[in-house]
Amino acid sequence: MNSWLRLSAVKLHSRSYSLLPQGAQAYIGGKWTSSQTGKSFDVLNPYNNEVVDRVTNCNVKDAEKAVQSAVEGFEQWAYSYTAKQRGAILHKWFEILLQRETELATLLTKEQGKPLGEARGEIQYSAAYFDWYAGEARRVYGQVVPSAVHNRLHLHTREPIGVVALISPWNFPTAMIARKAAAALSVGCSAVVKPAEDTPLSALALAQTAEEAGIPAGVFNVITADRANTAEISKFLCESTDVSAISFTGSTPVGKLLLAQSASTVKRVCLELGGNAPLIVFDDANLDIAVAGTMATKFRCSGQTCVSANRIFVHEKIHDQYVSKLAAAMKEKLVLGDGMDPKTTQGPLVNQKAVDKCELLLSDALGKGAELICGGKHGEHGSSYEPTLITNVQSNTNIANTEIFGPIAPIQKFREDDEVLQAANNCRVGLAGYIFGKDTARLHKFSRRLEVGMVGVNEGLISCAEAAFGGVKESGIGREGGAQGVDEFTNWKYICTQY
């Protein structure tokens, strides 16, 4: 069939944003298909609110079809393909993503809004997971367990869990699917992907590249749906006895709902949920490194990441210097605009609701004594919002206790180590944390005692394919990436043989 991804390279640069004459379709059982209802929904560019494409609006019946296709695909993928063969296909998928980087990044920017440079980085990051798990496919080892008696052989083997449902967010519409799918497919699982309604096109593009890489029909399925249909589809996936695991990245409230819905079938649930990351700058920190790290973690994807620094604690001795340097860096490096403009380094927020949230949080903080250093205004286009810096933030403000998911950097002063450690851990979520300083004993202490799943020490960008990504407390269950990433998609089996 003709590649709609190839067509997109031409269409996206024209005034028409349609990727196919009939719009983008779901991908089920190796075929592009419309919903049984024939309905579709619009995908909008958040910078200018123009329609990027019309996408198939799947319902539960379509989801049932996708799951059945995945059941059939699993039998072939898990038992007719060796780990080496699966790894070879995943590596080809990796190569295709790199070859198609420009097309995929352009599509991503059009529907999500992030700057094209960041979108390119996301495609490279996504590809890295297929490269990593292409190798890990051959390293899913079992165990030989010594027996307490003669003439018995005890084996522990690891087997694919089965069909997995991958429910992904809009902020990294390619990477979050790649991180889940690469691990799941490497061990022999098949997948049904439900992308966010704001960014379904990148998921469909990933299906196109999967087909080109040689992924068999039914092994990788993508069902797209608007917000209304998403709720019932997700409930079906959680309650289906044909789905063996749910992997979800998104908000903590939705994660809790999916966990509850999965209880009836006692299925495996992997959750990567919200964060409210503390970033601590000690009095002995190299301020240039601290500011660079803050810029990287706070303003990537316009602050719309689960590992974004939300609570920035700065020692009182170096507070003013740090704020001055951070304000200067923001003014120099952050350019708000259209993600397709090469000058842009800050794209729009995902929608107006996200802008409203930022405005409410900022208003509350300023009303309780915070000082506005820069930014704080709605941008001129779409759901754009200016990068914002505020100081003198009090612990009783909403912004000090809420995941912002926007480009606001709120600064709080601290004096004592014990004081800031307590403040950093005074939170029901714990995904990532960041510390900047030189005292190795203190850095080691805080690395161990911060109640988070990941710590960046003098570093603001910590995610990579080789490392385990995940949180503690209400930030989730399980890990993605690294050698640990396959744990969520395998079962241990004990085999006892008498000889």
pLDDT digits (tens, 9 = 90+) for 326-363: 999 999 999 999 999 999 999 999 999 999 999 999 99
* Residue 388, φ and ψ in degrees, nearest 5: -130, 140
The answer on pLDDT for 16 being more than 70 is no
- Per-residue pLDDT band at 2 (split at 50, 70, 90): very low
332: annotated active-site residue: no
Structure confidence at residue 462 (pLDDT): 97
Give, for 310, the enclosing helix (H) or strand (E): strand 309-315
Determine contact, residues 432/452, Cβ cutoff 8 Å.
yes
Residue owning tokens 């399980």: 478
pLDDT digits (tens, 9 = 90+) for 155-187: 999 999 999 999 999 999 999 999 999 999 999
Q: Of residues 272, 474, 480, 488, which has the active-site annotation?
A: 272
Structure confidence at residue 205 (pLDDT): 96
Give the chain's mean pLDDT.
94
- Of 84, 111, 93, the C-alpha closest to 17 is 111
Higher pLDDT, 425 or 19: 425
Q: How far apart are CA 167 and CA 250, in angstroms?
A: 8
Q: Whole-model pTM?
A: 0.94
* Those residues with Cβ within 8 angstroms of residue 208's Cβ, 6 or more apart along the chain or in another chain: 3, 4, 5, 27
- Per-residue pLDDT band at 305 (split at 50, 70, 90): very high
Q: How far apart are CA 446 and CA 453, in angstroms?
A: 13
The answer on pLDDT for 96 being more than 60 is yes
Structure confidence at residue 23 (pLDDT): 57
CA 384 to chain centre: 21
Structure confidence at residue 24 (pLDDT): 87
Measured between alpha carbons, how far is residue 256 from residues 172, 184, 228, 343 in Å? 21, 22, 19, 40
Number of continuous H segments (helices) and E segments (strands) in the chain: 14, 22
- Compute the residue count for the chain: 499
* Those residues with Cβ within 8 angstroms of residue 196's Cβ, 6 or more apart along the chain or in another chain: 168, 169, 170, 173, 250
406: three-class secondary structure by DSSP: coil
Query: What is the side-by-side strand order in the sheet with 309-315?
Result: 371-374, 388-391, 408-414, 309-315, 277-281, 432-436, 454-457
* Residue 285, φ and ψ in degrees, nearest 5: -70, 150
The answer on pLDDT for 13 being more than 80 is no
